[in-house]
Amino acid sequence: MTDKLPASSSVPQPAVAVVIPCHNEELTVTKVVSDFRAALPDAQIVVVDNASRDHTAERAREAGAEVIREPRPGKGFALLSGFRYARAAGAVYLVMVDGDDTYPADDAPKLIAAADAGAEMVIGTRLADYEQGAFRAGHSFGNWLFIFLVRVLFGVRTRDLFSGYRLITRRFLEATPLIAQGFEVEAELSLQASVQRFPVAEVPVRYRARPKENPSKLHTYRDGYRILLAILTFFRDYKPMTCFGLLALFFLVLSLAGGAVVVTEFVQTGLVPRLPLAVLSAALFLLAALSFACGVLLSTINRRSAEIAALIPWK
């Protein structure tokens, strides 16, 4: 009779790193590091000091975190530096979380469980369970608006596009080019996961209000504009045929509308009294043709780039 393995046979767990980007978070970083150390005792805790002018780095070290410095201001820069550092140390699961103590460390095991089940990126969604005052005025609506936009442009169905509490795998990190510099990094992660066809899981988490003495670093209009620009740029770069095809259709409709007036008058009178309109209609038709040609060309280049990338083995 063949002996069965005991149910308690240990399976090595993937190495976990918690990456915490911080800019002037001395009031909260100690608690964040301590909470994640308690929730994930075997994890590597990495605090990225992102050009802080206070004692964030000192407080993080005192709490037991490994601290690296990223002098370029911007959450995207800080996260990428932290990811590279943790990856070099051998991390397989990389948990990213803000240093403002708005995300409970107790929810981290739920993210890891979802990754163990096969997800390459796990998003801790905040919109179902949050404290009063956790979202500033207008931010919930803005979040919904951007969620609707990426659903229309990319078909991405997510409940929280801008959650700063996520887990990505080493495989995801090595296969995905990330270039975001600021708060648009969360949107880029979601869009890259869609483009690369990585499985994504969403796990509801509790979202707490920031301490009043530690205001948010997010600037509603400036960062909102940057996020919108990043999404549109991503749409242009990764869906060029759709982007330039819509642009070509827009120019074509305008061209045909103006041209119809000119042709109708010419048929009726034998004259072209609206010569400027005729020239404009011809120019719009040329722009439509040029836009369509750009879409075809860029789409072909994207396909060739994807084929080349597919030949490069993952590290």
Contact status, residue 33 vs residue 63, Cβ threshold 8 Å = yes
Looking at residue 312, what is its pLDDT?
65
Residue 171 has pLDDT above 90, yes or no: yes
Looking at residue 138, what is its pLDDT?
65
> In which band, very low, low, confident or very high, does the pLDDT at 15 lie, cut at 50, 70 and 90?
very high
Reported as type and span, the H/E element at residue 157 is none
> In which band, very low, low, confident or very high, does the pLDDT at 182 lie, cut at 50, 70 and 90?
confident
Looking at residue 314, what is its pLDDT?
53
Task: Say how many residues make up the chain.
Answer: 315
pLDDT tens digits for 231-241?
Answer: 999 999 989 99
pTM, rounded to two decimals = 0.82
Looking at residue 5, what is its pLDDT?
39
Nearest-angstrom CA–CA distance, 184 and 161: 10
What's the mean pLDDT when you consider all of the chain? 89
pLDDT tens digits for 113-136?
Answer: 999 999 999 999 987 777 776 676
Token duo for residue 235: 């749409």
Top pLDDT among 218 and 37 is at: 37
Token duo for residue 148: 């609707």
- Percentage of the chain exceeding pLDDT 90: 67
> In which band, very low, low, confident or very high, does the pLDDT at 137 lie, cut at 50, 70 and 90?
low
> In which band, very low, low, confident or very high, does the pLDDT at 183 lie, cut at 50, 70 and 90?
confident
Token duo for residue 38: 């308690």
Q: Across residues 274-300, what is the average pLDDT? A: 95
Nearest-angstrom CA–CA distance, 107 and 203: 9
Looking at residue 177, what is its pLDDT?
85
> In which band, very low, low, confident or very high, does the pLDDT at 187 lie, cut at 50, 70 and 90?
very high
> In which band, very low, low, confident or very high, does the pLDDT at 144 lie, cut at 50, 70 and 90?
confident
Looking at residue 302, what is its pLDDT?
84
| Nearest residue to 161 (alpha-carbon basis) of 150, 172, 177 | 150
- Identify the three-state secondary structure at position 289: helix
pLDDT tens digits for 38-80?
Answer: 999 999 999 999 999 999 999 999 999 999 999 999 999 999 9
CA distances from 264 to 166, 189, 257, 267, 282 (A): 60, 52, 11, 5, 15
Contact status, residue 240 vs residue 298, Cβ threshold 8 Å = yes
Determine how many CB atoms are found less than 10 A away from the CB of residue 136: 14
| Nearest residue to 51 (alpha-carbon basis) of 75, 34, 15 | 75
